[in-house]
């Protein structure tokens, strides 16, 4: 009996799935940066690499982005070098080590980027570092001038090591001054465009404890500011299910990635304020969200496929997810993917 259930589940996962509409394909295309090393999956590195490489062979691989890995674990990746090939190189999204201040982070980032370059060189065409994620130290965003100095200092380090045009996602840490910091944070990131840098936004939507999950108002404020300033971002952690829901295991309400991307596109198209975007983010009713041949709709608000394509390229770039099967299974259950 157990063998039959396992076979049926395996067949469901491995069978090709197809987006019900073009709008579904647009939303999901390259959406999921694979973060199997991180909670709640917390896979060992060999298992995470194995799972990621297996997913890359599936018909649904078009939904996958790079493999997310801390710089400190690149040596372990290198030890598994026989699993990679020049014919199908793997893209990595690397996380430099965090520090307590901008001065110390600038110095440690130099060392980490040198390590990235050495890793890529030793892998001889089998791998590439195509994006970087980091957390701004507490003192980086203390004022508008400090935020600008922080972004410029980091760009100088990135540029010196050959990563000046590589997307670098700088996470803003939620604190008591989170809302006040958002405009200066995004304006500082946006100013990097003048030098050709790609310093992009990042919001963490979950984690191990309930405190790691932003409220609907906090997430709406982040998205609204990104739209108003017109600057790209990614969202990570706690977003491996399409819709907002209560998670029994963690006893916390988790955000949904469909809620997030609907809020972004509808927010931009209809010039919604943060309060309305919060309502979209907190809607747990699947019937409120519609993918159709011409675009998307939430209740009476709609946007075209062209709008969605634009916002996936210029605003909401991707999410980090510790699982690829979880979102895929949910999307199948909701009928937005079919087999």
What's the confidence (pLDDT) of residue 194? 64
Q: Which residues of 104-117 are buried (b: 16+ CB within 10 A; e: fewer)?
A: ebbebbbebbebbe
Both tokens assigned to 259:
């809620």
CATH of domain 18-338: 3.20.20.70
- Cα torsion angle, 173, 178, 180, 186, sign: positive
List the chain domain ranges: 18-338
CA 313/CA 267 separation, integer angstroms:
16
Are 68 and 59 contacting, i.e. CB atoms less than 8 angstroms apart? Answer: no
Give the containing element (helix H, strand E) for 22.
Answer: helix 22-28
**Model pLDDT, residue 285:** 98
Check if the beta carbon of residue 172 is closer than 8 Å to that of residue 179: no
Q: What is the pLDDT of residue 7?
A: 34
Task: Return per-residue pLDDT of the chain as tens, 339 residues.
Answer: 433 333 344 434 457 889 999 999 999 999 999 999 999 999 999 999 999 999 999 999 999 999 999 999 999 999 999 999 999 999 999 999 999 999 999 999 999 999 999 999 999 999 999 999 999 999 999 999 999 999 999 999 999 999 999 999 999 999 999 999 999 999 999 987 766 668 999 999 999 999 999 999 999 999 999 999 999 999 999 999 999 999 998 899 999 999 999 999 999 999 999 999 999 999 999 999 999 999 999 999 999 999 999 999 999 999 999 999 999 999 999 999 998
- Residue 190 CA to residue 228 CA, distance in Å, equals 12
């Amino acid at each position: 009996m157990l063998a039959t259930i396992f076979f049926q589940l395996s067949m469901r996962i491995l069978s090709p799935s197809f987006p019900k509409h073009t709008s579904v394909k647009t939303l999901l295309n390259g959406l999921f940066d694979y973060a199997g090393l991180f909670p709640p999956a917390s896979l060992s590195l060999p298992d995470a690499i194995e799972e990621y490489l297996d997913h890359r062979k599936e018909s649904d691989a078009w939904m996958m982005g790079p493999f997310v890995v801390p710089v400190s674990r690149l040596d372990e990746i290198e030890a598994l070098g026989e699993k990679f090939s020049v014919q199908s190189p793997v893209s990595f999204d690397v996380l430099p080590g965090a520090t307590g201040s901008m001065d110390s982070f600038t110095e440690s980032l130099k060392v980490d980027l040198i390590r990235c370059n050495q890793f890529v060189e030793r892998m001889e065409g089998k791998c590439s570092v195509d994006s970087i994620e980091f957390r701004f130290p507490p003192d980086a965003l203390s004022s508008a001038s400090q935020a600008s100095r922080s972004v410029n200092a980091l760009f100088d380090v990135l540029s010196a090591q050959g990563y000046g045009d590589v997307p670098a996602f700088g996470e803003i840490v939620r604190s008591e001054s989170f809302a006040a910091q958002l405009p200066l944070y995004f304006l500082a990131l946006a100013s990097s465009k003048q030098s050709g840098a790609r310093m992009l936004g990042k919001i963490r939507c979950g984690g191990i404890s309930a405190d790691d999950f932003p409220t609907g108002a906090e997430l709406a404020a982040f998205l609204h500011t990104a739209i108003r300033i017109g600057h790209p971002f990614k969202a990570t952690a706690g977003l491996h299910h399409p819709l907002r829901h209560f998670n029994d295991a963690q006893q916390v309400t988790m955000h949904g990635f469909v809620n997030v991307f609907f809020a972004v596109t509808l927010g931009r198209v209809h010039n919604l304020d943060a309060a309305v975007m919060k309502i979209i983010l907190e809607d747990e009713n699947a019937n409120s969200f519609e993918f159709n041949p011409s675009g998307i709709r939430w209740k009476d608000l709609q946007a075209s496929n062209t709008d969605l394509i634009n916002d996936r390229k210029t605003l909401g770039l991707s999410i980090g997810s510790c699982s690829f099967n979880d979102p895929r299974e949910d999307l199948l259950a909701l009928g937005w993917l079919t087999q």
